[in-house]
Amino acid sequence: MLLAVAVGLLGLLIGSFLNVVIHRVPLGESVVHPRSRCPGCGTELSARDNVPVVSWVLLRGRCRTCGEPISARYPLVELGTAVLFGVVAAWCGPTWQLPAYLYLAAISVALSAIDLDVRRLPDRIVLPSYVVALVLLLLPAILDGRWDAYLRAAMTGVGLFAFYFVLALIYPAGMGFGDVKLSGVLGIYLGFSAWGLAILATFVAFLLGAVVGVVVMIRTRAGRKTKVPFGPFMLVGTFLALFFGQRVIDWYVAGIGL
């Protein structure tokens, strides 16, 4: 419990940085310089106005200098990251794989928000994540002797990438190549736990995407060509599979008597 709370507090700080990533990466800007500024008047934010969640509440969602409204998405991203970090920490426990899955949680928040905003998954985040995931998962592979899981992770990443790649070739209008590139990263993480989780996560992603797509078409009277970003569904499916997938697989296996 203490670990989950401590990691959740870390998530608040990471979430504050992710707000910068979400805003700047699609624009091709540096996430380091310059410091955060008010989008209305351009005033550089002081340290007291940059405390996750607290500053937004105390300022009542407005810039101290010009009174320009500050989107509620900023504290929501910070809170969402904190909650996800805490849940991941509770799921992993004090293990060597925790840093790897916290990284996955961080990029999941950023990629979901960016995909919803601009309908793309930036290479600046996705491609380096292959290297980061494999490096961070080396910790449990080496220190806990989990080389079988590491090999399975690499193979599942390749397999899931190939599956999405084929889907994109068959139906390019329904599958962006950003989704294909992300699938390999998710396959690495899913495969490290169990290769069957990749199948479950993919099923959940497509199920959620189909349900939400139908709801969007009904509520907005949109046509079938209206694009709904698929990245967030892939990420939600991945975490649902990681947190609950093994129970589902065990229940299914027991049900069919294997």
- pTM comes to 0.92
For residues 49-53, give the mean pLDDT. Answer: 83
| Mean pLDDT computed over every residue of the chain | 90
Per-residue pLDDT reduced to its tens digit, 217-251 = 787 765 555 578 999 999 999 999 999 988 877 77
For residues 131-155, give the mean pLDDT. Answer: 97
Residue type at position 154: A
Per-residue pLDDT reduced to its tens digit, 162-177 = 999 999 999 887 788 9
